[in-house]
């Protein structure tokens, strides 16, 4: 049990952020990385947290999250964690488990209430857009509040997302920022829907590096992306070979039947 846990919040709260470590921040950027296509959000969060040596400063408890335990490197962790870096004035929020639809509003409100108390002014969601197979074109798309669009549009490697709907906890957070004195925006990229996709995470981190000069080393993600690409190509070749064999076999059977 953590010493910083507040006994007053034990039980089954709708949503409550428990701060376990004090950290004074000025006007931090808050980066939110939740489960999505290709697990790109949690992959990005892991790279940022590890490379920038961020400290876990809080976690969110809610009865709207599945009753399950999360282990990281054998250590029991809260499924909805918040990390901070005082020097970089940065907060990273990540989770391995989804929030039930009934609890999206209370969870996003509790998180942003806490973020406002920490002085957060910008909230960015990093998410994957599910596609079948390996995306043929990797592009980062953005959706933002009006005052942020002009700044994001200066980045020639990103494009604005004309229209669409962002659902789940990510969409709930962005909707809630519209009611607050903070700016919310999302960076999205196509990602393989069924397996972890380091290539999608790579695209999002490249964009984040350009926007905020975080200097995250992308070597591991590039290597992981290349491995996935090769495996997907091998799978495609195997499937193509099987289809050709089936077609040839069907053709021979058809000829034999005609001959008979």
**Is residue 67 a part of any domain in this protein?**
yes
Residue 2 lies in a domain: no
Q: Are 163 and 231 part of one and the same domain?
A: no
Residue 140 lies in a domain: yes
48 with 76, same domain: the answer is yes
Whole-number percent of the chain with pLDDT over 70: 81
Number of domains present in the structure of the chain: 2
The mean pLDDT value for 75-81 works out to 89
pLDDT digits (tens, 9 = 90+) for 96-124: 888 999 999 999 999 999 999 999 999 99
Domain of residue 241 covers: 219-260
Confidence (pLDDT) at 245: 57
Answer yes or no: is 246 within a domain: yes
pLDDT at residue 254, rounded to an integer: 45
Give yes or no: residues 230 and 177 share one domain.
no
Whether residues 155 and 138 share a domain: the answer is yes
pLDDT digits (tens, 9 = 90+) for 197-233: 888 889 999 999 999 999 999 988 888 767 655 665 5
Q: Would 139 be classed as within a structural domain?
A: yes
Residues 161 and 34 in one domain: yes
Compare 248 and 32 and report the one with higher pLDDT. Answer: 32
- Domain check: are 38 and 101 in the same one? yes
Looking at residue 194, what is its pLDDT? Answer: 76
134/258 same-domain check: no
Inform me whether the pLDDT recorded for 71 exceeds 90: no
> Does 1 fall in a domain?
no
Are both 53 and 168 inside the same structural domain? yes
Per-residue pLDDT, 143: 92
CATH number assigned to the domain comprising residue 29: 3.40.50.10900
Q: Which residues 6+ apart lie within 8 Å of 259 measured at CB? A: none
- 259 band by pLDDT with thresholds 50, 70 and 90: very low
**pTM (predicted TM-score):** 0.83
């Amino acid at each position: 049990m953590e010493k910083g846990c507040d006994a007053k919040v034990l039980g089954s709260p709708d949503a409550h952020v428990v701060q376990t470590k004090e950290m004074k921040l000025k006007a931090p950027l808050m980066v939110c990385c939740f489960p999505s296509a290709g697990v790109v959000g949690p992959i990005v969060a892991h790279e940022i947290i590890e490379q920038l040596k961020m400290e876990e400063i809080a976690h969110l408890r809610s009865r709207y999250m599945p009753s399950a335990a999360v282990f990281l490197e054998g250590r029991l962790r809260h499924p909805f964690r918040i990390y901070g870096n005082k020097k970089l004035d940065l907060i990273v929020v990540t989770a391995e488990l989804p929030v039930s639809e009934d609890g999206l509003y209370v969870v996003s409100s509790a998180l942003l209430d806490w973020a406002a108390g920490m002085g957060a002014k910008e909230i960015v969601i990093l998410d994957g857009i599910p596609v079948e197979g390996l995306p043929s074109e990797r592009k980062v798309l953005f959706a933002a509040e009006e005052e942020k669009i002009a700044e994001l549009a200066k980045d020639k490697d990103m494009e604005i997302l004309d229209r669409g709907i962002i659902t789940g906890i990510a969409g709930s957070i962005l909707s809630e920022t519209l009611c607050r004195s903070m700016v919310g925006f999302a960076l999205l990229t196509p990602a393989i829907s069924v397996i972890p996709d380091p290539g999608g995470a790579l695209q999002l981190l490249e964009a984040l590096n350009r926007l905020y000069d975080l200097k995250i080393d992308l070597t591991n993600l590039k290597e992981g992306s290349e491995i996935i690409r090769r495996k997907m190509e091998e799978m495609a070749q195997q499937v193509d070979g099987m289809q050709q064999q089936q077609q040839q076999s069907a053709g021979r059977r058809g000829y034999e039947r005609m001959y008979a």
